Structure 1
């Protein structure tokens, strides 16, 4: 056994002149159709454990994956991210047999603090400095519903942002997370600061401008039969495992209710999750309800749904060892622990004892914004922190 860094696994063959392709996962493609496309024996999938088969159902359309094919078109290996921390790896071993494993994603997380002078437009100017195509839309969404009018921005105004962004194989991975932002319009500044306890954004006076979205547990259950795990190293199997959802054990036929208001995005069968419903909520959240026995009457794609509305029935369809509901939750396309959101205490604003600390920290950030705006050498972003996460793995 030898220890290698995950980056090496995929790129060991590049030393011999091989080409790595970065591709977008096509809509309608499944793990099985992918295997068929590259003439990989389907038993690679059928012989997997239930937990790994479920992960194969987590592949998101239009997400990037990394493929290496040989000169004759045969697949040598592929890395397919299924969450912010875990990816599927198919590769040929020394005997030319295809193998499957799950691996941690070797991403780098950058924290940056930038001040950007407006010369052309918000989108173009932010992209030129950061190279990030999402930041402009996120910044504008933070000020939505306020008196901030981006159309009134003039040349010479500024936008300042403090944010973190994961990168993978040298490219942005996932959505950036903005912790604070300043928009200057006609020389007047407007601020937003994120409060970690409720994920809301406040101004420099502690006034909130976003609503925290709260969910309910969608059924009466007997017990939680499997908890959410994003990246866990199994000491006996000596490999990484993941379960991107929470399993609620309950009798077949028990009612399932919508965890929150939203729009039904999918109704049908989805790989290992069997009969599945996906609801798109506000604030970037989605919920997935898997292994259902059937759907409530009238449930259809595109339908608006209310929190607590009946949507289906507990079952054991797909890859399931017994009746239960698999509840998946996603924030901006990334799987998260549903219980961490459902159990989050509801707050209507900053508590008195925490407000003083929040406001003091906000003033420190404002001073940093002002200092960076005054800095004439700001062609490139100032990278105040560089935190690297390079996980070692064991390869047989």
Structure 2
């Protein structure tokens, strides 16, 4: 009814519609008079009210409007829920505050609850510091440390604090610990709160925002220089080399004019970048040959690996070079003259020159079948990989102490360190690769590949990776145009 009345008032000033308005009011009066009569008879209202149609009409209109308003409100108004912030949420939010903000918040809380004042202090861990020293500087009683260490398994992380770590503590005038805040790492933090008089420790994950970015580069002198020029961090640069390292020897195969494009993640906390994430897709052109990869997560195992566009694994069963080396001092040569014995003796492996103590990695998954000295080889380790392959590592300085004969190793695991034991003119790794007992050239032997994307997941693989490859294509074309413009 209120809508009808509003419409009437808005039109009564329009003179050209007066006839229409009078007719409308007449109909309304008749309708309200009828309603008024029914209401009057039902409720035994006195005759005076019946004699005054306008009064009945006005009264009924107000009743109907109120009822309509109530009905509309009941049907359309959303149900409001009380919003409350738990003490736990407040504590988590306080972690993002600066020290002055945290102190101001604590003052408000103490005054509102008529509590004795407490004060936050912030300490930066120095070399040689431990929690006991920090508590002493904060004037917190020594017995409070014992209570803290009993507040849960989460506080064990406080036994491994490092220089430049920041710890915040809240205590009262009596030296009683009330709360503690500690950034465990860039992604998680520890909070200790006093709940009902007892310290309770909990760990949480920071809210991390993941953003996608990209970079491209062309090699003029070295890959590391090109990566630096492209603005790529050392972590992304090393990961890029590891992914393509199965097919490209970055010590020997890199050529001037080679180029790369990489899509990767960046992780942010409170709007500030804290680290790089994973490489999502990448393209590497080496000596005119295009290598391309994409990261894909298996829906069943939830494990992620890098694959070619047709779903083959980038990861091979063996890494090509099991050590970071400066140069190859001697290649595979069955007619080589021995540098010490000065006689013709087959060299059935590859010698990688490297600094003494450089880590040596297992070329593939397997187990240790020999660890010890072997004539001119000096200290040696031999690994068995399935039934077909073995790898030998010689002239070692020392071994990984945890490994012994029969120990299982994973690809890329440190197994020993470069040395010059046995007949060696300088520190290097002598590496042999054998197939069914026959020596093969480690630099040219065709390496077996790992498992591809399972056939039942190929549709999901294509659906997930097509957008990444499309974006990669666009970036590569843009880079090629830029290179052409610079010619």
TM normalised by structure 1 equals 0.46
Q: Report 1 or 2 for greater relative contact order, CA contacts < 8 Å, sequence distance ≥ 6.
A: 1
Higher strand share: 1
Bigger Cα Rg:
2
